Amino acid sequence: MVDIQSIKLRFGIIGNSPLINHAVHVAVQVAPTDMTVLITGESGSGKESFSKIIHQLSNRKHNGFIAINCGAIPEGTIDSELFGHEKGSFTGASEARKGYFEEHNGGTIFLDEIGEMPMGTQARLLRVLENGEFIRVGSSKVQKTNVRVVAATNVNLLRAVQKNSFREDLYYRLSTVPIMIPPLRERGADVDLLFRKFAADSAEKYHIKSLVLDEEAKKLLLKYRFPGNIRQLKNIVENMSVLSESRLISMDNLASYLPSNELNYLPALIENQSNKESNPDQLLYKFMLEIRNEVNELRKLVISLLQRENGNSPLVPESEQLFRSFEENLFRKPVENQVISSPSLLLNSSEKEKDVEYDKAEDVTDKTEDDNFSLEKQEREMIVKALKKSNGRRKYAAQNLGISERTLYRKIKQYEIDEKNEI
């Protein structure tokens, strides 16, 4: 029987939740085979650790292992990086070069952010997985390789297949054995164990006393959603270890270290603890993509039904105002003193505005595409803000936006953002 605890200890995996134990068990079971594995999970949840488990417990452990972030390699060079190129095959190719699939023959390649891989490269990868064959850029000679591929993604690849941004045949070839890494918020008491581990590590690193949470702070920690998962928790603990004067952390002290633009991920527990406006950029970015279209469709339906029944009804402008108030609060204004648990909270607050006068009913169909509510405009503004915040460093701007560096590059080109003059 596989000793899951010893495996977790060996590879530094902290926690005892059933979900994480199951993921470790599957990784251990599939490791001795040569089957392709697809690891799914949110960014920062620890997917690379599982690729190392698979490699180190396989027959390939004495051969090479390399982790490649597909989203960090420019589209024009990723084929050369993976499969190599011949001398003179493109500008700057002053000599022939081996790619990762050639250099790590007999070993394991971990392809992180596989969903960001260009379609042309996907076709080349499929050939490697199917036949073990590849061709260098600028060559016509077919070469063989015996490399095991472990892939990982933080996006829904089936949805990407439906959008024609990921090959369906490659998806099914990659997901021979799927491993799902749970987000930190679904791991229960593991959050406290990880906090103590990171606090102890920081104490040893900086030669200081380790942090300790009081009971209320522990409750807050366990209820926080951690959109950045383990990576975010580690950064928070390290910041607190260095900056906090007290080694006993209270709930108020902990709340002050939780990013203000993510306070809305918290449940109602801290409703009375935060009276400041929080920066809504990241929340807006996620929220708009999910519900803005639904709001507009609902508005059209409601207004059309009212106009069909009685075009002069005072409910027409009143309903329009309610929808506009909802959108304005949702997409423009910071959320104050509460967590949005339902859109009805904003609608109910709008209904309490008694003294609003209307001169005449408006044709709302002409305003549903109002530039003030343009998703593209909002997205462009958020990208510019993120670039300014990171002093023009795309890597950190992409992390703040929750997208890959390649996606950020595409967006900069799409919206014609002048990084020299606008940042």
Query: What b/e string do you get for 338-351 counting C-beta neighbours within 10 Å, with b at 16 or more?
Result: ebeeeeeebeeebe
What local confidence, expressed as pLDDT, does residue 398 receive?
Answer: 80
- In angstroms, the CA 55 to CA 46 distance is 15
pLDDT at 201: 95
Alpha-carbon distance values, 98 to 134, 147, 371 (Å)? 12, 14, 50
Which pLDDT score is estimated for 405? Answer: 80
Q: What are the angstrom distances between the C-alpha of 33 and each of 54, 101, 403?
A: 9, 19, 33
Give the CATH fold of the 4-182 domain: Rossmann fold (3.40.50)
Architecture of the domain defined by 376-422: Orthogonal Bundle (1.10)
Cβ pair 117, 78 in contact under 8 A: yes
Single out the residue of 90, 81, 160 nearest to residue 124, CA to CA.
Answer: 81
Is the pTM here over 0.85, yes or no? Answer: no
pLDDT at 380: 84
pLDDT of residue 362: 42
Q: What angle do CA 299, 305, 307 make, to 5 degrees?
A: 100
Q: Where are the domains of the chain?
A: 4-182, 188-258, 281-373, 376-422
Give Rg (Cα) of the chain: 26
| CATH 3.10.180.10 describes domain 188-258 | no
Digits of tens for pLDDT over the chain (423 positions)?
568 999 999 999 999 999 999 999 999 999 999 999 999 999 999 999 999 999 999 999 999 999 999 999 998 899 999 999 999 888 888 899 999 999 999 999 999 999 999 999 999 999 999 999 999 999 999 999 999 999 999 999 999 999 999 999 999 999 999 999 999 999 999 999 999 999 999 999 999 999 999 999 999 999 999 999 999 999 999 999 999 999 999 999 999 998 765 544 454 444 444 333 344 455 555 555 556 556 665 666 666 666 655 555 555 566 666 666 665 555 444 444 434 333 333 334 333 343 333 344 344 444 444 544 456 777 888 888 888 888 888 888 887 777 888 788 888 888 888 887 777
Q: Are 73 and 81 in contact, with CB atoms under 8 Å apart?
A: yes
> What letters, b where the CB count within 10 A reaches 16 and e where it falls short, cover 80-98?
bbbbbbbeebeeeeeeebe
